[in-house]
A and B are shown apart, each in its own frame.
Chain A
Amino acid sequence: MSISGVIKMGSQVDAIRLRITIFAALFKHDLNKFIMDENTNNNILEEVTKGEYKFGFFSDIETDYAPKGLTEDTIRFISAKKEEPEWMLEFRLKAFRHWLTLEEPEWAHLHHPPIDFQEIIYYASPRKKPQLESLDEVDPELLETFEKLGISLDEQKRLSGVAVDAVIDSVSVKTTFQDTLSKHGIIFCSFSEAVKNHPDLVKKYMGTVVPYTDNYYAALNSAVFSDGSFCFIPKGVRSPLELSTYFRINAANTGQFERTLIVAEEGGYVSYMEGCTAPMRDENQLHAAIVEIIAMDDAEVKYSTVQNWYPGNKEGKGGVYNFVTKRGLCKGNRSKISWTQVETGSSITWKYPSCVLLGDHSIGEFYSVAVTNNFQQADTGSKMIHLGKNTRSTIISKGISAGKSNNSYRGLVKIMPGALNARNFSQCDSLLLGDKCGAHTFPYIDTRNQSSIVEHEATTSKISEDQLFYCNQRGIDTEKAIGLIVNGYAKEVLNKLPMEFAVEAQKLLSITLEGSVG
């Protein structure tokens, strides 16, 4: 039985607590204090803006590095290290040569010092171990890392029914539940394994949604990507498990460039989750990933992520630069792709999960909660490109800015002439906590036929005195009232997260500061 089943059978109170938990996770707020301690006098706003990063430990794992810097040799090194076929190397080199012709994009509402791409190590992997038969043989340090992250692999295996692929630094270290999945014909493995074992599938789909020419960071990723996850759902199969990948940057000065490819054939269904963390370091680390999703006729892919890279310290020092290209292609009729994201980490987030609605009647959804505090900057949103008839899309984005952060929504809704009767609804709200932060909205709406209906609305506000007064009047103190209101504010999106993520969010929270070094 899956965990979600257990929860659904539990009392309603549990369910409510769980939701609060997710909220608490967002704010790096101590769960127990929040729910259990009735007499808590901690100012939630303080905690929101001053909470410590809890995943900043560094694991001492033996690591193989590529030489620093980026040249064709680096790419050949990566490719050789991964024992890749010739066509893969060709693809990388083509991407690299294209990347050299591009300039770093500057249109986003983000400010950061120029990135020196020659100062980055493009490949780091935990030192190869002999082929493992069971979890007992895995490097104990590595296991401990996952324990700290709340992804105890064997526990997962026993209890949760979630198949996990864990990617540390650049390499996939462990995928659970492959046997169960393969019974259904589902392929869920690391990207490098897929290149070796399923080259035809990779060749057929890789780069079809995000070509290497797409943008600066997509080209960079295509040239140097080290690993990632590959997921293939055959015709008519509903994945019995939630699939999940964990990414962790461990080594210093390294960039992480992973690549995820999810393909759902006709009538397939999968719910896929991603989580990520990084140690606390003074220098900025670069993360540039690509996620490609393809949904054929009647297929549905639900992608959820909690992005929790190290956001930098309170003075804005360090943190991960997160430049990610995520795009789904609703290729078949009646297909559906849904993105749910909770963005709490990274010092800089540049991320626009998109849907290309090619098939008639296809559906794209985007639900996002983005929280920034201290000196974090986020420029995130979604793109919905309507090509097919009767396509529908929904964008719900909730931005919360605190401290001295800047949080921008940037989105595009494009209705092409052939997208008859297309429908879009977008709502992007911003909430400002404090008077030193910024909240911005940059929607682009481009409509090219008369039968479509596009609506966009946005509000910016702080927590209103009326709402607080109402709560106070009913005996709820101000701190709790703020928690309640913010929770309600983001609820629309949080409700879209799979229940399994809620459990993991709880586990993430239970990591104590004592257990983390760094």
Chain B
Amino acid sequence: MEKDTLQQTLPLDDMLIGQYRQYKDLISKNDTPHVRQLRQNAFKKFEKERFPTSNDEQWRHTDVEALTGDSYINELQPPDSEKNIEEMFRCDVHNFDTESYSMLNGWHSGNGESLKTLPEGIVIGSIRAAMGAYPEIFEKHYGQIAESEGNGFIQINTAMMQDGVFIWVPDGVKSAKTLQIIKIINKEEQLFVQSRNLIVLGKNSELSLMHCDDSVDQHASLVNTVTEIFVDEAAHLEMYKLQNLNDQSALINSTFVRQLANSTIKTNTLTFNCGLIRNNIHVRLDGQGSHADVLGLYLMDKEQHIDNQIRIDHNVANCTSNELFKGILDEAASAVFNGYIYVARDAQKTNAYQNNNNILLTPTATINTMPFLEIYADDVKCSHGATVGQLDQEAMFYIRSRGISAANARLLLMYAFAADIINQISIEPLRQRIDDMVKKRLRGELSVCEKCVLHCGAPEKEYHFDIDLSQL
């Protein structure tokens, strides 16, 4: 087998372009003509536009050149793995039974079949396998939802897509268990990992999905994930993204959602740890009566950087959306939030709400928040708010005057701040587990993954603050 990596010290874009040219046939070996065509178009665009730089308005606050200027290894063949990571990372949160699907370094892993049908009829598996098995779904949705204009990360993902997750929920099917996608990065070298996911929900279907990004080592990596989600009429999607990678990792995560009439989605992006993370979430409300809840929580410290770019397009009338992102920034962490609500002409009776609250704990933490509104219809209610501040001194005084130590009072207030997001998690066992993780994280006890994000390997232990609440 030919060696599939270009071990060079070229910048990432040059390396990828070289790799594509050299191994074009290998990359598009299993492609349907549709996918191959998309690859070629995307590659042409990428060759011209390359990766964005901090001169691009959208990337102004994130040092993207430092990422893309570095050299990485991009694997074009699945890694050989004897370990059954599916077993290893299987989630055993108490009372929380999930159907899991694992990926190692961006490739389908484990001994199981690459495409399986669950008892209720949901199809889950590797996008490589699904391409041939469900060409009509691919033709309809793949590459149609993601917007690649002016975004080199999307272009190169489309051009060199190798593996990822495919989920198809047929009309009327409701998922019995939460599906859990576990993505592990484990490699001795500096890896560039791309994964491409396609999730299609049929009419009146329901899906509960948990998407965990993890790393199990201390090596640097750059992950570029693109997820396309299609939510058909009256379908409901609940999605939790848990991000807990090491401080050397960078994650560029782009999620595009297209919703039809009366569908609802709820996404919750929980970022606990990662060197640099960029979440692009773009929701298009294309059918009347649809609703999107886009929530997020980020708890960053050290020199970590998070950049959340959330865009919601109200393209038709009578849709509602709710966007709430909260963050606590410690040490020299920096955060960027850019919310964008777009209301098209004649998208009357729109109700959109956008809020971003931040707490800075140290003099060196920074936040850039940009809550934008672009509105072309008059019968709408759109509001947004953004706050940056510290813990409320009066509340602090109140708690301390009841004999609670400064450190504990601080924890309690931070926890209360985060609770707004945690309480919106509707799967109770998961809510409890995340609640514990937040408590641990705030106490500085959350290490980067012993096993997976959810730390189910850790002994089942209730986390309590050392506070006698009766004193309050």
Contacts and interface: CB of A to CB of B under 8 A. Distances in A.
Interface of A: 107, 109, 415, 417, 430, 432-462
Contact of A437 (B360, B368, B378, B383): B378
B104 interface: no
Given A417-B363, A451-B363, A438 B374 contact: yes
B382 interface: yes
Interface in B350-404: 358, 360-390
Contact of B361 (A433, A434, A442, A450): A450
Given A458-B384, A461-B381, A439 B367 contact: no
A90 B218 CA distance: 59
A455 B370 CA distance: 12
A400 to B, nearest CB: 11
Task: Classify the secondary structure of A's interface with B.
Answer: strand
B387 A440 contact: no
A447 B388 CA distance: 7
B365 A450 contact: yes
Nearest to B330: A450
Contact of A435 (B367, B378, B381, B390): B378
A444 B337 CA distance: 10
**Interface residues on chain B, size class:** 35 or more
Contacts of A437: 376, 378
A211 to B, nearest CB: 22
Contact of B376 (A107, A415, A438, A442): A438
Nearest to B377: A435
B58 to A, nearest CB: 12
A196 to B, nearest CB: 44
A54 to B, nearest CB: 27
A331 B224 CA distance: 47
A445 B388 contact: yes
A438 B370 CA distance: 19
A440 B374 contact: yes
A511 B190 CA distance: 74
Nearest to A427: B385
B47 interface: no
B366 A446 contact: yes
B57 interface: yes
Contacts of B362: 450
Contacts of A452: 388-389
Contacts of B371: 441, 443, 456, 458
B414 to A, nearest CB: 13
A455 B360 contact: no
Interface string B318-361: 00000000000000000000000000011010000000001011
Nearest to B360: A450
A433 B378 contact: yes
A492 B377 CA distance: 25
B337 to A, nearest CB: 9
A379 to B, nearest CB: 12
Identify the 7 closest CB pairs spanning chains A and B, nearest first: A432-B378, A450-B360, A441-B373, A460-B382, A454-B388, A459-B383, A447-B388
A8 to B, nearest CB: 37
Nearest to B367: A447
B389 A453 contact: yes
Given A450-B363, A450-B365, A457-B384, A440 B390 contact: no
A434 B380 CA distance: 11
27 contacts: A109-B374, A417-B363, A417-B364, A430-B373, A433-B378, A435-B345, A438-B375, A438-B376, A440-B372, A442-B372, A443-B370, A445-B369, A446-B368, A447-B368, A447-B369, A449-B363, A451-B363, A451-B390, A452-B388, A454-B389, A455-B386, A455-B389, A456-B369, A456-B371, A458-B371, A458-B385, A462-B380
A448 B346 CA distance: 40
A191 B370 CA distance: 39
Contacts of B379: 435, 462
A371 to B, nearest CB: 15
B381 A447 contact: no
Given A450-B361, A452-B388, A456-B387, A434 B370 contact: no
A440 B375 contact: yes
Contacts of B57: 107
Contacts of B367: 445-447
Contacts of A443: 370-372, 386
B387 A454 contact: yes
Interface of B: 57, 345-346, 348, 358, 360-390
Contacts of B388: 415, 445, 447, 452-455
Contacts of A433: 378
B346 A435 contact: yes
A380 B240 CA distance: 39
A445 B370 contact: yes
Given A432-B378, A449-B363, A460 B383 contact: yes
Contact of B384 (A432, A441, A454): A441
B96 to A, nearest CB: 37
Contacts of A461: 380-382
A430 B363 contact: no
B390 A450 contact: yes
Nearest to B370: A444
A454 B364 CA distance: 16
B376 A459 contact: no
A435 B348 contact: yes
Contacts of B384: 441, 456-458
Nearest to B340: A442
A136 to B, nearest CB: 53
B386 A448 contact: no
Nearest to B338: A444
Contacts of B385: 455-458
B317 to A, nearest CB: 11
Given A453-B388, A460-B373, 4 more contacts: A417-B364, A433-B378, A455-B385, A455-B389
B360 A458 contact: no
Contacts of A448: 366
A60 to B, nearest CB: 43
Q: Which residue among A430, A445, A459 has the maximum number of chain B CB atoms within 10 Å of its CB?
A: A445
B211 to A, nearest CB: 29
Contacts of B375: 430, 432, 438-440, 460
A433 B378 CA distance: 7
Contacts of A444: 368, 370
A107 B387 CA distance: 25
Nearest to B346: A435
A18 B300 CA distance: 54
Contacts of A449: 360, 363
Q: Which residue among A415, A442, A458, A460 has the maximum number of chain B CB atoms within 10 Å of its CB?
A: A460
B366 A447 contact: yes
B363 A456 contact: no
Contacts of B386: 443, 445, 454-457
Contacts of A442: 370, 372
A462 B368 contact: no
Given A450-B362, A458-B383, A440 B368 contact: no
Nearest to B364: A417
Contact of B368 (A430, A441, A445, A453): A445
A143 to B, nearest CB: 45
A452 B363 CA distance: 10
A460 B381 contact: yes
A461 B351 CA distance: 10
B335 to A, nearest CB: 10
Contacts of B358: 447
A266 B196 CA distance: 63
A441 B372 contact: yes
Contacts of B364: 417
Given A450-B360, A461-B380, A440 B373 contact: yes
Contacts of B346: 435
A426 to B, nearest CB: 9
Contacts of A450: 360-363, 365, 390
